[in-house]
Chains A and B, each alone.
Chain A
Amino acid sequence: MGSDLISILTQAGQSLGAHRGAAATASQNIANVNTPGYSRQIANLAANTPTDFVGNTFIGSGVQLQSVTQARDAFLERQMQSAFSSSGFSSTESAALTSVSALDPDDANGLTAALGTFYTSLRGVAQNPSDTGLRQAAVSAAQSLAQTFNRTSTALEQARDGVDANMAGIVADVNQSASAMAALNVQIQQSRVTGAEPNDLLDQRQQLQDKLATLTGATPVLDAQGDVAMALPGGADLVGALRAGQLSLAPDPNNGGHLTVNLTRADGTGPVPLTSAQLGGNLGGALSARDGGLLTAKNGIDQMAFDFANTINAVHSAGFAADGTTGHQMFTVSATASGAASSLTVDSALVANPALLAAASAAGASGDNKNMLALVNTESTALSTGADVSGTFQDLVTSFGAKSALSKAISDQDSGMVDHLTQLRESTSGVNLDEEMVNLTKAQRAFEAVSKVITTADSMLDTLIGLKS
């Protein structure tokens, strides 16, 4: 079969389509320059297989748009999942820990100041136990100290409640994203039946993967059909291939009614409770802050309040009040350390009558301050921690501060890592407008040239037809 002008027209028409496709791809890239998660698309042009054999050679038969692929780096994306997971974990933990101000060392209304005022007032009474004003001041200082214990403990507990509220939001987000991801898996499977890659759906799924990794620390598991499941740390399926699991929250009576996370699996079984080891990302970080640093600090304050109140009571009840009676308690404290700080109060009889402050070591002498001196001495009595009351608080502040500083440092480091990997991914997958303008211009020029081919072939045909007339 010989080459003819009609076939030039035909293949030129086809080539116009290919260049239009290239221009459309550039325009799609330009349009999505700011779309989060968008991976730049590449129009792959390929020369048609020549079929025209003229003389002893093949004549080419134009160009076609073979495929539109995405510029993506699977290696990088895999690394990003784990970076998202750790960054989600550390940022949530750090935010929860740094938001607590109850343990600020310089707080004018904090425990340091309240303990100081308490002992100052006891020293005042020790100097002159018969002064009713000084006794009143000591009882007020004891009340203020008890309230400061209450407030410090409550503030830590409120921070833990705040984490619960935060978790509720995260879980809602997880469930929505997991369902969306399962739905996308279905759509992607259907689209692939045509043999083409549904690029924009893949972008969306990648974004959901990133989001779920950030929220829960889940990692993607690719199956043979190209579906992506999401497995929580420890292997529980959050998203099965085509179905999503659901997280739910339930109060845990063994943890003061704080929320525990349950998973209803993708296959509908469950719900089963998830341990903190089975959760990463924001959820894992929230749990780590709530049941780690914050709980330790709260328990520490409880233990400190319990030890302190019992130490004071032991000395106080051995002394004698101004009216010669003995055996009075200064603080009303719970039977166990649990919740001691939040329930600590000053004995109501003492509040009503500061004369009951047991300053004396024996009945009868109004100026006897021996027991008050013994109470002042409790300032350096070792509590169950091995340190005195101020030393115990010092240790609490230091260890809480160390946790908070560490998680902040890790969080900064993790977010730096995410930034770095995001830049690398952007470098591969991001849209560069200059490049796209060049691509667009390139496609436009090719389109114009091919159009010229059509007019040329047309005029050649005219010439051919004109030969007969």
Chain B
Amino acid sequence: MRVSDKMFYDLATKNALDARDRVLTASQEAATGKRVTSPGDDPSAAGLIVRDRTQLIRLDAINQGAGRANDELSMADSNLQQLSNVVTRARELAEQLSNDSYSAAERGNAVAEVNTLFNQALSLMNVDFNGRYIFGGTKDNQPPFDASGNYQGDTNVRQIEVAPGVLEDSSVRADVAVKGVGGGADLFATLNSLSTALGANDGSGIRAAFASLDSVNQQVGNALAKVGASMDAFDAAQSIAASTKLTTTKTLSGEQDADVFEATSNLALANHALDATLTASAASFQMSLVDKL
């Protein structure tokens, strides 16, 4: 092929520009570690990045929600445990003082302790977690029990997501556990009548509390079991979210990240190519008949 001088220079320009472009791309990849930054870099990977990033954000949100629900549930768990202790203590007192060998005065002295147990139970049930009353169903902006132990909450159970579209209970029904709604005993009414019976030295009245307190203890036990099951579900949701996040992060990295070693060696290669291009161009400029004549 006949070669004109301009071809040398055009070729040198083009080669140098191409080589510099490759160096730029390679150094960008090596510096950012990213292979796909704009949709045109790899259209299908770009779409998958959108999907995976959405998935990661969703997993974080579910993880966070499950964490908060778990915090509330562990508060509920601890308070229900304590409530169980209160009920047990009331049962003990009733058991002990039901014996008619105790005098009216001795039974009268126990009234104060039963009233204290009543108030303890009330404050355990009216607990708020970060300003939220956790035992009132979805009526969480007011104490669920008034001073006389009447339930003011509703009969709903709060639920939140453990996976997209899958819900899990994040509260227990205090009306069932404490007030015996749906066929059980009412703790506060029982404590009240126990207190009255003790004050009135009414042995049969005291004995009447046995069954109710046993029943309440059973109800609280059921509630604790439910709380435990929900906590397990949220724990599982958190660990599933964490492991899915790991997998998704790995997939995302495969779609968008450059292989570090490959990127670095590409950069070295591109630099070498640029060097070779410049050397070859410079050499090709030097030979001319003009210098020899």
Q: Tell me, yes or no, whether A115 is within 8 Å of chain B by CB.
A: yes
Task: Give the bracket for the number of chain A residues in contact with chain B.
Answer: 35 or more
Known: A98-B40, A130-B141. A34 touches B6 (CB 8 A): yes
Q: Tell me, yes or no, whether B202 is within 8 Å of chain A by CB.
A: no
- Candidates A120, A390, A433; contact of B50 at CB < 8 Å: A390
Q: Tell me, yes or no, whether A405 is within 8 Å of chain B by CB.
A: yes
Interface residues of A in 90-115 (CB under 8 A from B): 97-98, 100-101, 103-106, 112-113, 115
- Candidates A103, A380, A395, A429; contact of B164 at CB < 8 Å: A380
Residue among A97, A119, A401 facing the most chain B CB atoms (10 A cut-off): A401
Interface string of A388-410 (1 = CB under 8 A from B): 00110111011111101100100
Q: Is the CB of B51 within 8 A of A426?
A: no
Tell which of A172-180, A231-239, A362-370 binds the partner: A362-370
Tell which of A148-156, A198-206, A371-379 binds the partner: A371-379
Tell which of B61-69, B90-98, B113-121, B180-188 binds the partner: B61-69
Q: Is the CB of A120 within 8 A of B61?
A: yes
Q: Is the CB of A113 within 8 A of B53?
A: yes
Q: Is the CB of B46 within 8 A of A398?
A: yes
- Candidates A103, A123, A398; contact of B161 at CB < 8 Å: A123
Q: Tell me, yes or no, whether A126 is within 8 Å of chain B by CB.
A: yes
Q: Is the CB of B289 within 8 A of A438?
A: yes
Complex alpha-carbon distance, A398 and B1, angstroms: 45
Interface residues of B in 20-68 (CB under 8 A from A): 34, 36-44, 46-51, 53-54, 56-58, 60-62, 64-65, 68
| Chain B residue at smallest Cβ distance from A105 | B49
Q: Tell me, yes or no, whether B293 is within 8 Å of chain A by CB.
A: yes
Q: Is the CB of A426 within 8 A of B4?
A: yes
Q: Tell me, yes or no, whether B149 is within 8 Å of chain A by CB.
A: no
| Chain B residue at smallest Cβ distance from A409 | B40
Q: Which residues of the partner chain B approach A422 to less than 8 Å between Cβ atoms? A: 10
- Candidates B4, B38, B41, B170; contact of A40 at CB < 8 Å: B4
Complex alpha-carbon distance, A368 and B156, angstroms: 8
Q: Is the CB of B61 within 8 A of A427?
A: no
Complex alpha-carbon distance, A439 and B36, angstroms: 55
Complex alpha-carbon distance, A373 and B138, angstroms: 14
| Chain B residue at smallest Cβ distance from A132 | B131
Q: Which residues of the partner chain A approach B284 to less than 8 Å between Cβ atoms? A: none
Complex alpha-carbon distance, A376 and B159, angstroms: 13
| Chain B residue at smallest Cβ distance from A121 | B61
Q: Tell me, yes or no, whether B256 is within 8 Å of chain A by CB.
A: yes
15 example contacts (A-B, Cβ-Cβ < 8 A) are as follows: A97-B40, A123-B160, A127-B65, A127-B160, A365-B137, A367-B141, A367-B158, A394-B51, A398-B46, A402-B43, A408-B40, A427-B3, A427-B4, A433-B5, A433-B288
Give the top 7 A-B pairs by smallest Cβ distance, nearest first: A430-B4, A401-B39, A116-B57, A401-B43, A404-B40, A398-B47, A367-B140
